[in-house]
Amino acid sequence: MDSLNALLEGFATALQPQYLLYALFGVFIGTAVGVLPGIGPAMTVALLLPLTYSLDPTGALIVFAGIYYGGMYGGSTTSILLNTPGESSSIVTALEGNRMAKAGRGAAALATAAIGSFVAGTAATLALTFLAPGIAKLAVQLGPADYFALIVVAFLTVGALLGSSVPRGLVSLGLGLLLGLVGTEVLSGQQRYTFGIASLADGIDVVLIAVGLFALGETLYVASRLRHGAVRVIPVTRGWRNWMTRRDWRRSWRPWLRGTAIGFPIGTIPAGGADVATFLSYATERKLARGNARAEFGRGAIEGVAGPEAANNAAAAGVLVPLLTLGLPTTATAAIIISAFQSYGIRPGPMLFENQSGLVWALIASLYIGNVMLLVLNLPLVGMWVKVLRIPRPYLYAGILAFAGLGAYALHFNVFDTLILLAIGLVGFLMRRYGYPVAPMVVGGILGPMAEEQLRKAMAISQGDLSYLVHSPFAIIAYSTLAVIIVLGVWLKRRQARLEATAPEPITASLPAWEEADR
């Protein structure tokens, strides 16, 4: 049991007091920022990148793992407790969780989400522990043509499957690839698209793309259509007795396990990340529900919170498999984490488990630790997260802008980066305004240079013979899987769209009580 030993060593590192503190700091900040409305996990990670500029790699990655998992936990609190009519269908947890909260069962919804996330996160991290080293061993044998095939798969699945339409996803991908081209080209040392500006010769840092699109672009977009007036948070009854009844447990454990089983595999393949997994889990639970529970779907069924939340966290862990073993980000968040690795000169991929095994295993161990911390932090501290939810929006978004500015300036201590950030932020705003997904752009910006490098290596080996790209069985499998994934993904999206169309309307009329009373 090689990996077990390695994992134990990882624990030995991660349990050192200073790293425990880093992990605690990460999950705490991750949850706090994740709770903030409008800030998804990708933006959380992007905004907090500057935190790691001066930590050692192990510490930084442990903080990041905490932020990554914490952001996921925090997001569910937001969708359960924040009342936003008209929008709730886009986040599956809000579908049932928000209605449970309105019916006075918010505590149970939060508890099943948190415990389900813990169960799924732990199970999926276990799967990661035992799967990843094997995949890394296989991956070492892959050649440039195989890598190119994998990257093409990632491009097209992320580009075609995220967002509402295929061409829009591809435009977004193309913009990212174009940004990735700017700078000095590695193999021949030629400058491309730099306009002779010295600061551009090093290329556009991925941090700028991520922070610009997620933090700045999102803020500008929200500002353009801000919901004014008081923030309405649904109150939660205090006390652990209210968390979950025996019946809630009985109804929750199966969805947790099913959600994990659905989420992890979907997370590992480049199929658009957690969104697909949560929707699939929700559809499954709805189909499997019997009797009372069936009638409750649409009005606050606990299964509809437990399953998707578990799937969400399992998928988050699943995303780490291709990230760590192949160096392939399959979601925008993963793409930003890769850029964190790169800022230390560490390249995720098959060699990671050999060259940096101490670091990787400490990171994986910290995932287990972070999960436990999150469970402990989340439930008892709900009152504090509710306060975070109430931050007046003008201050919240002003703060996001300030941190985005910090992230850009602290890169090279040069205001030119601030200017680039603003330009990318404006593009991100327009993309949201006109319905383009932004995630493919981030993925394109990170994977574009890698794709070119692998392609040119492959062509150098084959002396320009294009058929070399499909000479290995692996590449053939990758391209045929691509076809299957795209067909499957389009089918899933249609299903999801149908589900959204049939989702019953929230019952708001019968629930006047919580609007006034907020303890």
Partner 1 sequence: MTSPAPAPRDATASGGAPASAPVRAPIGEFVFAGVCAALGVYAIVGAGFIRVPPGSASVLGPRVFPYAVGLLLVAASVAVIVQVARGHRGVPDDGEDIDPDAPTDWLTVAKLVACFLTQLLLIEWAGWPFAVMVLFGGAAWSLGAKRWWAALLIGLGLGLTTQLVFGAWLGLSLPAGPLLDWIPIFHG
Give, as ranges, the residues between 110 and 169 that touch partner 1 (CB under 8 A).
164-168
The smaller minimum CB distance to partner 1, of residues 354 and 500, is found at 500
Amino acid identity at 220: L
Q: Which residue of 255, 349, 405, 445 would you call a contact of partner 1, by CB under 8 A?
A: 405
DSSP 371-411: HHHHHHHHTTTHHHHHHHHTS-HHHHHHHHHHHHHHHHHHH
Residue 436 engages partner 1 in binding (rule: CB under 8 A): yes
The smaller minimum CB distance to partner 1, of residues 192 and 250, is found at 192
The smaller minimum CB distance to partner 1, of residues 198 and 434, is found at 434
Give the Cα separation of 357 and 129 in Å (integer): 12
Residue 467 engages partner 1 in binding (rule: CB under 8 A): no
Do 64 and 70 contact (CB within 8 A), yes or no? no
Amino acid identity at 138: L
Question: How many angstroms separate the first and last alpha carbons of the chain?
Answer: 54
Q: What does the angle CA 469 – CA 471 – CA 473 come to, to the nearest 5 degrees?
A: 115
- Restricted to residues 44-73, the positions that interact with partner 1 (CB under 8 A) are 50-51, 53-55
257, two tokens: 């396990």
- Output the smallest distance, CB 181 to partner 1, in A: 6
CB neighbour list of residue 307: distance below 8 Å, 6 or more residues apart: 116, 255, 256, 258, 259, 262, 281, 282, 284, 285
Residue 5 engages partner 1 in binding (rule: CB under 8 A): no
CB neighbour list of residue 295: distance below 8 Å, 6 or more residues apart: none
Give the Cα separation of 377 and 355 in Å (integer): 34
The smaller minimum CB distance to partner 1, of residues 140 and 226, is found at 226
Pick the stretch among 3-11, 113-121, 252-260, 455-463 that binds partner 1 (CB under 8 A): 455-463
Do 442 and 336 contact (CB within 8 A), yes or no? yes
The pair phi, psi for residue 185, each rounded to 5°, is -80, 140
Q: Which residue of 27, 45, 60, 216 would you call a contact of partner 1, by CB under 8 A?
A: 216
The smaller minimum CB distance to partner 1, of residues 4 and 226, is found at 226
How many chain residues bind partner 1 (CB under 8 A)? 98
The smaller minimum CB distance to partner 1, of residues 165 and 237, is found at 165
Pick the stretch among 81-89, 145-153, 243-251, 367-375 that binds partner 1 (CB under 8 A): 81-89
Nearest partner of 65 among 316, 266, 439, 309, judged by Cα: 316
- Restricted to residues 484-513, the positions that interact with partner 1 (CB under 8 A) are 489-490, 493-494, 497, 500-501, 505-506, 508-509
For the beta carbon of residue 18, count every other beta carbon within 10 angstroms: 11
- Output the smallest distance, CB 95 to partner 1, in A: 13
The smaller minimum CB distance to partner 1, of residues 1 and 509, is found at 509
Site string for partner 1, 163-202 (x = CB under 8 A): -xxxxx-xx-xxx-xx--x---x-xxxxxxx---------
Pick the stretch among 112-120, 281-289, 362-370, 454-462 that binds partner 1 (CB under 8 A): 454-462
- Distances 140 to 267, 317, 325, 346 between C-alpha atoms, Å: 22, 22, 9, 16
The smaller minimum CB distance to partner 1, of residues 190 and 467, is found at 190
Give the Cα separation of 279 and 258 in Å (integer): 13
Pick the stretch among 111-119, 307-315, 319-327, 407-415 that binds partner 1 (CB under 8 A): 407-415
Residue 450 engages partner 1 in binding (rule: CB under 8 A): no
Please name the helix (run of DSSP H) or strand (run of DSSP E) that holds residue 346, with its range, or none.
Answer: none
- Output the smallest distance, CB 56 to partner 1, in A: 12
Residue 222 engages partner 1 in binding (rule: CB under 8 A): yes
Pick the stretch among 211-219, 260-268, 312-320, 353-361 that binds partner 1 (CB under 8 A): 211-219
Q: Which residue has the tokens 């009638």?
A: 295
- Output the smallest distance, CB 176 to partner 1, in A: 9
Site string for partner 1, 88-107 (x = CB under 8 A): -xx-----------------
- Restricted to residues 338-397, the positions that interact with partner 1 (CB under 8 A) are 392-395, 397
480, two tokens: 């045929």
CB neighbour list of residue 414: distance below 8 Å, 6 or more residues apart: 199
Pick the stretch among 214-222, 256-264, 281-289, 294-302 that binds partner 1 (CB under 8 A): 214-222
For the beta carbon of residue 96, count every other beta carbon within 10 angstroms: 29
Q: Which residue of 5, 224, 245, 292 would you call a contact of partner 1, by CB under 8 A?
A: 224
Segments of 84-208 assigned E as strands: 183-184, 191-192
The smaller minimum CB distance to partner 1, of residues 188 and 473, is found at 188
